Structure 1
Amino acid sequence: MRLSNLADYAVVAMRAAAGHCGSQMWSAAQLADQTGLPAPTVQKLVSRLSAAGLLRSTRGANGGIRLARPAAAINLADIIEAVEGPIAMTQCSDGPSGCTIEHSCGARPHWPQVNRAIRGALENITLADLAKEDVAA
């Protein structure tokens, strides 16, 4: 399994936001400069992350973006799902997939358990954890 570039960039942007705009407003342009991400990509991410309730965006001269809640209350699953939708390892996990063996598949009933395990692991990693500078490898 591999995250899309956009989901990866969302994690990068949220990590930077946690370090800089937890309590103060920051512009999307500043976030783009800080992360090295293209400004249009950051704008798209700000839109999706705001819609998911992870960022708060305010327009105007005194506007900008900031975290919608503390970094410790945002987890990796929240960020990934804001960009990619529900975490599902297989297409059939989310409902009818059009798979040719769907009717006789013995693995299909087990995918929800796998999805819950993966989501649970991602829920255990908070944005505050990701924002720490000293990480043991």
Structure 2
Amino acid sequence: MRLTHLADYAVVMMTAAARRDASARLSATDLAQETGVPLPTAQKLMQQLAAHGLLIGQRGAGGGYALARPVGEISLADIVEAIEGPIVLTQCADGANHECALDTHCRVKPHMGIVGNAVRGALGAVSLQELAR
């Protein structure tokens, strides 16, 4: 499994945000400058992270974004899933009906959910607080 650039950038940005004071307002411009993530990408990612409940946006003077939860309560899995969607290792494990030439003979398919859950659990065990150290 390899993270896409967007998921990688989101982890970098959230880690930078976690290093700031808990009450600090975050802007895409500031995080882009601090992390090297291109500004349009930073803006897009912050909107996605807010849509998934990891950031809270506030409009107006003094507005910006803030972490939606304490850094110890946000996991690496939360960030990856906000950008990538659910963590599954194969198409057949995502719950959708995919056509597969091996489907009628496959003895691994029933177990791929277990594997995906294990990977999600491993990523879920790493908090944003740990990443920000």
Match of 1:46 in 2: 46
Does residue 103 (structure 1) correspond to residue 109 (structure 2)? The answer is no
Does residue 20 (structure 1) correspond to residue 20 (structure 2)? The answer is yes
Match of 2:119 in 1: 118
The runs of at least 4 consecutive aligned structure 1 residues that moved more than 6 Å come to none
Number of matched residues?
132
Cα-to-partner distance string for 1:27-86 (whole Å, 9 max, x where unaligned) = 110011011100000011101100110011112121011101100000000000000000
Is the 8 Å Cα contact of residues 57 and 64 (structure 1) preserved in structure 2? Answer: yes
Secondary structure of 1:20's counterpart equals: coil
Secondary structure of 2:47's counterpart equals: helix
User: Identity rate of aligned residues, in percent?
Assistant: 53
TM-align CA RMSD:
1.0
Is the 8 Å Cα contact of residues 52 and 82 (structure 1) preserved in structure 2? Answer: yes
Secondary structure of 1:118's counterpart equals: helix
How high is the TM-score relative to the length of structure 2? 0.95
Does residue 89 (structure 1) correspond to residue 89 (structure 2)? The answer is yes
Q: Which amino acid aligns with 1:6?
A: L
Is the 8 Å Cα contact of residues 13 and 35 (structure 1) preserved in structure 2? Answer: yes
Match of 1:62 in 2: 62
Counterparts of 1:17 and 1:66 in 2: how far apart (Å)?
A: 8
Q: Which amino acid aligns with 1:127?
A: L
Deviation at 1:102, TM superposition (A): 1.5
List alignment gaps of at least 5 residues for structure 1.
Answer: 133-137
Counterparts of 1:57 and 1:103 in 2: how far apart (Å)?
A: 48
Between 109-118 and 54-63, the greater mean CA deviation after superposition: 54-63
Deviation at 1:22, TM superposition (A): 2.5
Counterparts of 2:21 and 2:36 in 1: how far apart (Å)?
A: 17
Counterparts of 1:67 and 1:111 in 2: how far apart (Å)?
A: 33
How high is the TM-score relative to the length of structure 1? 0.93
List alignment gaps of at least 5 residues for structure 2.
Answer: none
